[in-house]
Amino acid sequence: MSELITIRHGAMEATVDTAGAQLMNLKKDGGEYLWQRDPQWWPRCAPVLFPIVGNIRDDRADSAQGEIRFGRHGLARNYEFEVADAVEDSMTLSLSSNDDTRAKFPYDFKLDMTYALTDDALEQRFTVTNTGDVTLPFVVGGHPAFNVPAPGCEDEDFSDYALRFAEPWTYASPTISTKTGLIDYQTRFSLLEDSDTLPITHRLFDVDTLIFEDVPQRTVTLSGPSGHGMRVDFEGFDYLGVWSAANDAPFVALEPWRGTATGTDEDDVFEHKRGMDFLEPGESAEYAFFMMPL
């Protein structure tokens, strides 16, 4: 049976569900910044992505340990996590491999998700441990979606918002197939031309997800005319997905990724995927990003 756990620190409050270790609320001064799950648009709000981001071709891949089979974003979001620790302003939830996970992903692992509040930010930290006796291949990613307009800004419109980067840059996103979810890194479309600002419109997401590589200073802000919105800092994550449901959904997801979905130029060997991380038996690795309501 899943459990909702709430942590607080000053004006900040966050709630996480043990089902999938999914962030369910992120509030500052009582205002809700996190998308609140409406099946009309999208029934999730911030799933944990492990051990893959996005899709593998036809939901299967080969690996050194045998066949891998799972759908979009891997398997962690579909399992109940155990509460490893919970205090007033932080918590850690844990998922360990079991017979069911091994049937889909033939590796042993432990995934700890830590959520910790400060005066102005929520840290989401992934700690991955190889509990097996062979090399563990994996990637992690976040998928938090944020309300647009931001709380208290109901007089603003979705199209008033923009992504703001740390410095001007030029960038063209690879395309993603809405049928297969695979990424074509050779076919791209321009998003920025010596600019630090990308205006947001619903039609921008008719192509599905915008995929950014090597974002300057690994930070992005989603905000409207009032300056309210969300800043995400994601040092250590080389990719950023930006997505909203194409049916004019009132949210934008800002998704720090360590890797991406299978590319059309890649084979079906799991270890060959872009951005893949590897841990030897007994090793652990940590990755964290920060969400700052504005």
Contact 286, 236 (CB under 8 A): no
Closest CA to 146 of 15, 260, 33: 33
* pLDDT reported for residue 246: 86
Quote the domain boundaries for residue 247.
Answer: 4-293
| pLDDT on residue 81 | 98
* Residue 179 pLDDT: 82
d(CA 77, CA 91): 17
**Structure tokens belonging to residue 70:** 């799972």
Give the residues of the chain that fall short of pLDDT 70. Answer: none
Q: What angle do CA 282, 84, 71 make, to 5 degrees?
A: 70
Q: What is the pLDDT of residue 237?
A: 98
Residue 162 makes CB contacts below 8 A (sequence gap 6+) with: 197, 198, 199, 200, 222, 223, 224
CATH code of the domain covering residue 61: 2.70.98.10
- What b/e string do you get for 127-165 counting C-beta neighbours within 10 Å, with b at 16 or more? bbbbbbeeebbbbbbbbbbbbbbbbebeebebebbbbbb
Q: How far is CA 185 from CA 48, 151, 169, 176, 212, in A?
A: 24, 36, 19, 9, 11
Tens digit of each residue's pLDDT (9 = 90 or more) over 230-287: 999 999 999 999 999 988 999 999 999 999 999 999 999 999 999 999 999 999 999 9
Distances (CA, A) of 167 to 94, 120, 170, 192: 37, 23, 10, 11
- Structural domains in the chain (count): 1
Give the per-residue pLDDT at 177. Answer: 85
Cα radius of gyration rounded to whole Å, the chain: 18
Q: Which two tokens stand for residue 149?
A: 């307009």
Strand-strand pairing, 183-199 and 162-176: antiparallel
Report how far residue 139's alpha carbon sits from residue 137's, in angstroms, rounded to the nearest whole number.
Answer: 7
**Strand partners for 145:** 253
What is the rounded distance in angstroms from the CA atom of residue 32 to the CA atom of residue 146? 9
- Tell me the whole-structure pTM to 2 decimals: 0.97
